Protein backbone atom coordinates (compact mmCIF):
# COMPACT_ATOMS: atom_id res chain seq x y z
CA UNK A 1 0.00 0.00 0.00
CA UNK A 2 1.22 3.48 -0.85
CA UNK A 3 1.48 5.73 2.17
CA UNK A 4 2.63 9.20 3.06
CA UNK A 5 3.18 10.33 6.62
CA UNK A 6 1.07 13.23 7.87
CA UNK A 7 1.87 14.68 11.26
CA UNK A 8 3.54 11.41 12.18
CA UNK A 9 0.62 9.20 11.09
CA UNK A 10 0.54 6.99 7.99
CA UNK A 11 -1.97 8.05 5.33
CA UNK A 12 -2.74 5.84 2.33
CA UNK A 13 -2.98 7.33 -1.14
CA UNK A 14 -3.93 6.20 -4.61
CA UNK A 15 -1.37 6.53 -7.39
CA UNK A 16 -1.77 9.93 -9.01
CA UNK A 17 -3.26 11.70 -5.99
CA UNK A 18 -1.73 14.93 -4.82
CA UNK A 19 -1.02 15.40 -1.12
CA UNK A 20 -4.19 17.50 -0.87
CA UNK A 21 -6.26 14.80 -2.58
CA UNK A 22 -4.95 12.19 -0.16
CA UNK A 23 -5.82 14.42 2.80
CA UNK A 24 -9.34 15.09 1.51
CA UNK A 25 -9.87 11.41 0.69
CA UNK A 26 -9.02 10.69 4.34
CA UNK A 27 -11.63 13.18 5.53
CA UNK A 28 -9.31 16.10 6.26
CA UNK A 29 -10.98 19.21 4.83
CA UNK A 30 -8.79 21.76 6.64
CA UNK A 31 -5.22 21.54 7.91
CA UNK A 32 -4.09 25.03 8.69
CA UNK A 33 -5.58 28.26 10.00
CA UNK A 34 -5.29 31.85 8.89
CA UNK A 35 -2.92 34.14 10.77
CA UNK A 36 -5.72 36.49 11.74
CA UNK A 37 -8.97 35.02 12.89
CA UNK A 38 -7.60 31.46 12.99
CA UNK A 39 -10.06 30.41 10.32
CA UNK A 40 -9.58 26.89 8.93
CA UNK A 41 -8.15 26.37 5.44
CA UNK A 42 -7.63 23.35 3.20
CA UNK A 43 -8.26 23.04 -0.52
CA UNK A 44 -10.03 25.94 -2.19
CA UNK A 45 -8.95 26.29 -5.81
CA UNK A 46 -7.17 22.96 -6.19
CA UNK A 47 -4.98 24.38 -8.98
CA UNK A 48 -2.18 26.18 -7.15
CA UNK A 49 -3.60 29.69 -7.21
CA UNK A 50 -5.01 30.49 -3.75
CA UNK A 51 -2.29 29.12 -1.43
CA UNK A 52 -4.95 27.98 1.05
CA UNK A 53 -3.53 24.44 1.15
CA UNK A 54 -0.01 25.20 2.44
CA UNK A 55 1.87 22.45 4.24
CA UNK A 56 5.45 21.47 4.97
CA UNK A 57 6.59 18.60 2.75
CA UNK A 58 9.84 16.77 3.48
CA UNK A 59 10.98 19.70 5.60
CA UNK A 60 10.24 22.39 3.03
CA UNK A 61 7.58 24.80 4.23
CA UNK A 62 5.04 26.70 2.18
CA UNK A 63 4.30 23.88 -0.26
CA UNK A 64 0.94 23.84 -2.01
CA UNK A 65 -0.53 20.45 -1.20
CA UNK A 66 -2.75 20.60 -4.28
CA UNK A 67 0.28 20.63 -6.58
CA UNK A 68 2.60 18.09 -4.98
CA UNK A 69 2.11 14.45 -5.98
CA UNK A 70 1.93 11.93 -3.15
CA UNK A 71 4.90 9.61 -3.22
CA UNK A 72 5.71 6.75 -0.87
CA UNK A 73 7.69 8.04 2.08
CA UNK A 74 6.70 11.69 1.69
CA UNK A 75 6.49 13.40 5.07
CA UNK A 76 3.86 16.09 5.49
CA UNK A 77 3.49 18.44 8.43
CA UNK A 78 0.36 20.51 8.79
CA UNK A 79 -0.07 23.57 10.93
CA UNK A 80 -3.29 22.42 12.51
CA UNK A 81 -5.58 19.42 12.66
CA UNK A 82 -8.80 21.39 12.13
CA UNK A 83 -11.38 19.17 10.42
CA UNK A 84 -14.29 21.54 9.82
CA UNK A 85 -14.37 24.98 8.33
CA UNK A 86 -16.17 28.18 7.63
CA UNK A 87 -15.83 30.82 4.94
CA UNK A 88 -13.49 33.76 5.11
CA UNK A 89 -11.36 36.06 3.04
CA UNK A 90 -7.77 34.96 3.75
Distance of CA 22 to the CA centre of its chain: 8
90 binds ligand FES (CB under 6 A): no
4-12, 21-29, 32-40, 41-49 -> range binding ligand FES (CB under 6 A): 41-49
Find the part of the chain contacting ligand FES (CB under 6 A) among 6-14, 24-32, 40-48, 78-86: 40-48
Check if the beta carbon of residue 47 is closer than 8 Å to that of residue 66: yes
Among 23, 53, 57, 82, binds ligand FES (CB under 6 A): 53
Q: Is 49 in the site for ligand FES (CB under 6 A)?
A: yes
DSSP string for 61-76: EEEETTTSBP-TT-EE
- Least gap, CB of 8 to ligand FES (angstroms): 23
Q: Does 68 bind ligand FES (CB under 6 A)?
A: no
Name, in order, each residue with C-beta under 8 angstroms of 23's C-beta and a sequence gap of 6 or more. 6, 11, 31, 42, 43, 65, 76
Bridge partners, residue 41, by sequence: 32
User: Rule CB under 6 A: which residues touch ligand FES?
Assistant: 43-46, 48-53, 64, 66
Amino acid sequence: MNEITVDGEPLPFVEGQTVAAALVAAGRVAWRTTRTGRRPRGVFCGIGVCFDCLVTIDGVGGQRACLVPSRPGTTVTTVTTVTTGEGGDE
